[in-house]
Each structure stands twice: as structure tokens, then as C-alpha cells.
Structure 1
Amino acid sequence: MSSIDANALVFTEAAGLELGTVDVADPAVGEVRVRLRASGVCHSDLHVVTGDWKMPSPMVLGHEGAGVIESVGPGVDPSRIGERVILSWFAPCLRCEYCVSGRQWACRDTQANKCVMADGTTRLRQDGHAVHAYLNVGSFAEYAVVPETGAIAVPDELPFEVAALIGCGATTGIGAALHTAQVPPGSSAIVVGCGGVGLSVVMGLAVSGAYPIIAVDMSDEKLEAARAVGATHVVNAREHDPVDACIEETHGGANFVFEAAGRVDTAEQCVAMTRAAGTTVLVGMPTRGARLPLDVLDVALNGKTIIGCSYGSANASLTFPMLADLYLAGKLPLDELIGSRIGLADVSAAFDEMRQGKGLRAVVTY
């Protein structure tokens, strides 16, 4: 094995996003090097670009990645070379109390949020300087070195573009319905925000047997996509008051309401749309420090529950293969999430569309 050069999109606070080349080191103990084949462009990446979330710099962004294991470090079974894998942006330690109790999504000892490997260093360099990989993935590059626990094998029949979206948006949204909220069949449900995560929530609700499934957005394009993946009703929030429309359609509010836009105003609306004894699920990721105004009397008197959802409450090693199998069996229309296939040079334009609330998921293909 040897280090290799890879084309990458590198972010710095001073220069923004710039195409360049990074040196990708050999994998160390317990690590694998993956040749990326696809990467989703997610709103969490945009949070870093806009400064909403402060992260170390310079950095290769991207955390919805899929590819093939090209080499392995000491302690990793060499038979893993050649596996088609989805990269988890929250590689678990598998030792803390959360991991051993089946809640890997809440692992306290992962180094993902620090964007460093277990030894506190990175595997990327540019011009002799260390470069961080976002959430220990860095999928806006041709290669990535990741912890073995963050490289989850999936069937070779799974398209790389779909696999990449399972790595974040699809797992978060579908998991919000199936794992976090555990929606029973026949439950009424509302999804506010129909980006990649929101559309995935709709898919999860369809799998769970919820009815009605009401999708809310300001984009007709996204509402049509919501119908295509399982929404039974749609509300354009530009044309109607979403709270009034949804309360009327559900005769007093829904059993489950999912906020997938990552905004305080829509989160407040979601609590208002939730019926007595119902549950509001906060799925979208807002700007750091955002505070939710709360009618405490409404929540207490009506016995409402408000819960947070991180990564769809998923254990990636189990959830990724399950979603892959459901897709291959024709049960999850994940292709509908993809709006465009782009190159690294087009990521900035994809972010611009995202800022404007336009388009579906852009996927970088290598």
C-alpha cells in the first residue's frame, strides 16, 4: 500500500470551496481506504459553508458517501477489500454504554464530530498541511480513509448513487418514522419540509402503514416528489396556512408530525399541528443555538410529546443493509430522491439551489 493523490473539494473559511488535490494516506490500525463512487450533497454540508456550524479547517466536506474498499489497515480482515460499502458519518466505538445497549447513533466515544481518527490525527494532507474529513467521511473527494466500523457492506446490486443517500438522508428520514417514532399502522402523520430527509420520512411512513400522510412544503416540485414516494395529501405553504390546513385535514391534528426543514418557525408549527397525546419529531438540523418558542401549557395540558431524532435512531450496521434490501425488493423508491448527478465542480451550484429551496438531492458521481 502507499499514499495516493485524489481530486477533492476543499473548504476553508477564507477561500470557501476550491477544487484541488489532497494526499490520502494509508489506512492505519482499524481503518479502511475507500474509493468513492458517489456522494450526496446534504444541507449539513451547507451549514458548514455558511458558517452556521463551526468546524475545523481546511476540510473536505461531504458525508453521504458510497464506494469500494480499496485497502485495509492492520487488524482489518483483508477479505473486506473489494466490498461495496456505505460510509456512516457517525462511526461508533462499539464499546460505550450507548453502543452496547443498541444505540450506536448516540455513541459518546466516536471521533466523528471532531473530524479526526481514533489517534487524534487526519489521513488527508494538502501542501504539507493536515486536512480534516467532515465527520470522518469527506466524501467530496475520490478517496476516503474511514474507521472500519463506519464502512458498512451492502449488496453489489445496489447503485452507488442510492447507496450514498442511504448513508445519511434516507436513513435519517426513514429511521425517524420506523425507529425514532415507531409509527403504528393507521396513524395520521404530517411531514413539514420535503427535501431529501423529509421525502425519506414520507417513505418510512408509507412503509409503516400511516394514513393519511400529509406533506408540507413551498415547492410544487418537492410536493410532487412527495406524492411519488407515498404522500396521500400535500399542502403548499405558500398558498395555504399549513397549520390550519393540516388541522382541518386531520380533524384536530396528527398523531405524528415530523419537522424536516431544520427551522424554528416550522418546528413551532409542527407542535401546533400535533393532536392531543400526539408526538412531534424534530428531524431537521437548524443553525447551532436555535431556540424553540414553546406553548408549555398546550404541551402539558394536551399531553404532547416532543422528541429529537439523530440519524434516524439507526445502528448503521443493521439499518443500511435493511434499507438496501427494501430498495432492491421494490419497497423503497429511493431513486425518486435524486434530482441531478453532478461533478465536484458543480457542488457550489447545488448549494445555491439548496439555499433557494429548489431541486431535489444532487449526487456527485465519480
Structure 2
Amino acid sequence: MDAAGLCHSDLSVVDGNRLRPLPMALGHEAAGTVAGTGTSVYDVQVGDRVVLVYVPSCGFCKFCNSGRPALYPAAARANGRGDLIRGGTRLHDTAGAEVRHHLGVSGFATHAVVDRNSLVIIDPEVPADIAALLGCAMLTGFGAVTHTAGVRAGDSVVVFGLGGVGQATVIAAAASGAYPLIAVDPVDSKQELARQLGGSHGCSPEGLSDLLADVLPDGVDWAFEVVGSVGVLQAAYAATGRGGATVSVGLPHPSAHVSFPALSIVAENRSILGSYMGSAQPQRDIPAMIQLWQAGRLPVERLKSSEIRLDDINSGLDALADGGAVRQLLRPGAVTQPGPTMSGTAS
């Protein structure tokens, strides 16, 4: 493993918002270098640089064939169990007890065993800190704007929540020519970063009503909820105008329910769209994002808040929970303590 980003989806397992079998080795946004392959792997070579993908795909089911690999049912079941897609686990602790995989990746370690369908081979010249961010933050935010919504130049956009995925959503919306592009977060520094990344306006949740009344009194075309909060999702819906759409990107607690004025959906032609993994196709979209980054159109490097060692994972998760960090990058090679050990071979 070369680099791994700390994401709220990891924190959600720690705080119980995403129920997963334990013990589990976390980390799902990562990039690495292939150290070995199983006997059935023929198109990946030792030394290949790869981005890990947190939803493996088969390439044959109706979801993969319709361009929606994130909805592959077998992957959802395997991820929920903490297994690899072909069954079982390959991780154990120092006492030999089984450790579950997080979304088929478990990137918070010096090494990982993953399925072939959980990785995308990339240009070896792409730095690890850029590559890692493509696996979740950029894939999700870029995909939500480009594929789930299909934002066009001149569309108005508001993004609620300016963590890694939210800022990636701002980057993608700016690249699509959205205007006005409003970034909403209670943290001033995150609002400022969003403006630097192409947002036209930044504000706190409390200041949004006044800003919309001044800039977009008829409501926005696209509202992206990137928090995982029912209250924020309802605020996002309320911000849309006639014909507008709300894109739900954040992951709320499984028990959470939300309500909307039913008449507005029909009479005002408003819609609510779910966007898991940005409705993306990683094998297509990760190389495409690399080309856009190389052309200077996706400033992915601006998402990085800091780099930390594997030993500092707990303090990193605390910083993530406090809300100040955008994307901390874990460098597994800088470690002084042993992590989980591996057994078995790559699938």
C-alpha cells in the first residue's frame, strides 16, 4: 500500500453508523503497487501501480452491463460480510484470528490482499497521494456531478458538506461550468478552500437562506448532499427550485428516514437521486480523471490536508470526527508497529 485516505466511511464503522462485522481492517480509499498475483490473474503484473476500488464488479450482470457496477448485488453482500468478492477473508491478526476486509480493500495496512476486480491499473507516473484520492473522494464527487446529475455549463449548484467528497464535488461542478456554485459548510476554512477550487460563493448552513434569496431566489438546479444527515438532505431538497434535483451522496444511519412534500415532486417536477460511488465506472473514470488532472482541470492535490503515519491512525480519525480535516493521507510505509498479517494468495 502506497497511500490511503481517511474517509467518513471509515469513521462510520468506528462510530457504529455503518454496521460491519468486527474485527475489521479499515481503509477503502487507497493506491498501491502490486507485489504478487494469484495463479488465475493474467492481466496484472508485479510492479503495476493501481488504484483500489471499494465496490468490485463482475462485468457481466445487468448492473455492470448498464454502466452501474456499484450496484452489483454480490459485491454489496460481500462488503457487508467483510469478505472478498470470491468468498472468505485473507487477513489474520498476530494470534491467527480472522480479520474482516473493509469494502474489499483494507488499505490501513502496509499490505493488502484484494480481488482483481477491486483495482484499476494506472499510469505509473501518477504520484501515490493523487492516485489514492481517485479511489473514493474524486470518484464519488466527480461521478455524482458528471454521471448521476449530468451538470451542464450554466447550471446552478449548491454543495452541502465540504469534506473530501464534497470538495471533489465542487471541483467537478466547477469543471462542468456550473454557476452559481455555492459551497455550504460550518467550517470557514472549508468554505474558503471551496472558493479556491471554483466555488462562486461559500456560506454556513445558517447563512444559506439569505444567500439564496439574494443570488438564486427561485432555487438551485442541483443540490448535492454530501454529509449523510437527514436534516441536511431535507435542507438540500428545500434549496432546489422548480425542475430541480437533489443528489444524495452521503451515507446516513441505516435507521434514518426522511420526508418531503409529496406534491412538490410532481407539481414542481423536482426529483431526488441516489448516487453511490458517484454512479461511476471506475475502469473508465479513473483513467479519465487522471488525464483531466494531468491537463490541470482537476486540482486533486488541493484535497490533501496532511500526511500521517499508520501509528497515528487514531488521532487521524479524531481529527476527521472534529470536522477540520478535508483529506488526511496515511502513508503505510512510515510505521513502527506491526499491523495485521496476511494469509492466502490474491484472487
TM-score (norm 2): 0.92
Which structure carries more strand by proportion?
1
Matched, 1:322 2:291: no
Structure 1 residues 9-20: aligned runs within 5 Å: none
Name the counterpart of 1:232.
200
The answer (yes or no) to whether the contact 1:114–1:135 under 8 Å persists in 2 is no
- Among all aligned residue pairs of Structure 1 and Structure 2, give the percentage whose two residues are the same amino acid: 36
For structure 2, the residue ranges without an aligned partner over 5 or more in a row are 334-347
Letter of the 2:247 partner, please give it.
V
Deviation at 1:237, TM superposition (A): 2.5
Give 1:248 deviation, angstroms: 3.1
Name the amino acid aligned to 1:112.
N
1:26-41 correspondence runs (5 A):
36-41=1-6
Q: Secondary structure at the match of 1:279?
A: strand
Alpha-carbon distance change, 261 to 363 in structure 1, aligned in 2, over 3 angstroms: same
Tell me, yes or no, if the aligned pair for 1:102 and 1:315 is still in contact at 8 Å: yes
User: Aligned match of 2:81 in 96, 102, 114?
Assistant: 114
Moved more, 347-356 or 210-219: 347-356
Please name the residue that 2:105 is paired with.
137
Name 2:344's counterpart in structure 1. none
- Equivalent residue for 2:20? 55
Equivalent position of 2:54 in the other structure: 89
Q: Distance in 2 between matches of 1:338 and 1:269?
A: 28
Q: Please tell me whether the aligned partners of residues 243 and 272 of structure 1 are also in contact (alpha carbons under 8 angstroms).
A: no
Higher relative contact order (CA 8 A, sep 6+): 2
Partner amino acid for 2:318?
D
Q: Deviations over 1:93-119 (max 9, x none)?
A: 222111122211111222333321244
Give the TM-score of the pair, scaled to structure 1: 0.87
Match of 1:331 in 2: 297
Matched, 1:179 2:144: no
Letter in 1 for 2:87: G
C-alpha deviations, 1:37-76, integer Å up to 9, x for none? 1000000011110111111111100000101011110121
Q: Deviations over 1:301-321 (max 9, x none)?
A: 211011010001111111111
Partner SS state of residue 306, structure 1: strand
| 3-state SS, counterpart of residue 190 of structure 1 | strand
1:72 to 30, 37, 41: 37
Native 8 Å contact 1:255 1:279 kept in 2: yes
Query: 1:79 Cα shift?
Result: 5.3
Do structure 1's residue 283 and structure 2's residue 249 form an aligned pair?
A: yes
After the TM superposition, which residues 142-221 of structure 1 pair with which residues of structure 2 at under 5 Å, given as runs? 142-221=110-189
Distance, in Å, in 2 between the alignment partners of 1:313 and 1:325 is 19
Separation in structure 2 between the aligned mates of residue 280 and residue 162 of structure 1, nearest angstrom: 29
Q: CA RMSD in A?
A: 1.4
